[in-house]
Amino acid sequence: MLRWGDDVISTEVGQQILSDHNELRSIIADIEVLLGVVHLDAEQLRELQQKSSRLLTRLQSHIDHEDSILVPALRAEGAEGTAEASSLHDHHEDQRKQLRAAIEQIQNDRITAGQLRVKMMSLVAELYRDMEHEEQRYVTA
């Protein structure tokens, strides 16, 4: 269920967010396997680039999806919900900028395994924090 304050907004919206988060976690799990490889060979580096690009593309889609379902649900809850929706939308705009930069870096043929590893470890940690925050803030079991 989606919640805002003490109000339940929509079970369906909450389920959609959790479904998206579970799909992102599955992609991240594949990436984490490669991040654990001490010395990536050229093939593994390409695979990490591909999986990282897939994650970022899927994350962009997820952010757009949240904006289309969560932001309107929050706005429907009055002034406090509108402020929360505005804050979430601003956060998503910042994430989009970061994602565009990350995609450009990851798709650069000159990126080293070490650079990609650092970029993705940072991004994955931030993504886990963000999903956990959203689930605690908006989704209940």
Query: Which structural domain range is residue 104 located in?
Result: 3-138
Q: Take residue 55 and report the two structure tokens written for it.
A: 């994650």
Q: What is the model's pTM?
A: 0.83
141 — pLDDT class (breaks 50, 70, 90): low
Give the model confidence (pLDDT) of 35-46 as tens digits: 998 888 989 989
Q: If phi over 0 gives left and psi between -120 and 50 gives alpha, with beta otherwise, what is residue 117?
A: alpha
Long-range residue pairs from 10-14, CB within 8 A, at least 24 positions apart, any chain: 10/73, 13/69, 13/70, 13/73, 14/138, 14/139, 14/140
**Residue, of 138 and 57, whose pLDDT is higher:** 57
- Under 8 Å CB-to-CB from 9, ≥6 apart: which residues? 1, 2, 3, 73, 74, 76, 77
- pLDDT at 67 > cutoff 70: yes
Q: Count structural domains, the chain.
A: 1
Tell me the pLDDT tens digit for each residue of 123-138.
999 999 999 988 888 7
| pLDDT of res. 31 | 94
Per-residue model confidence (pLDDT) at position 76: 83
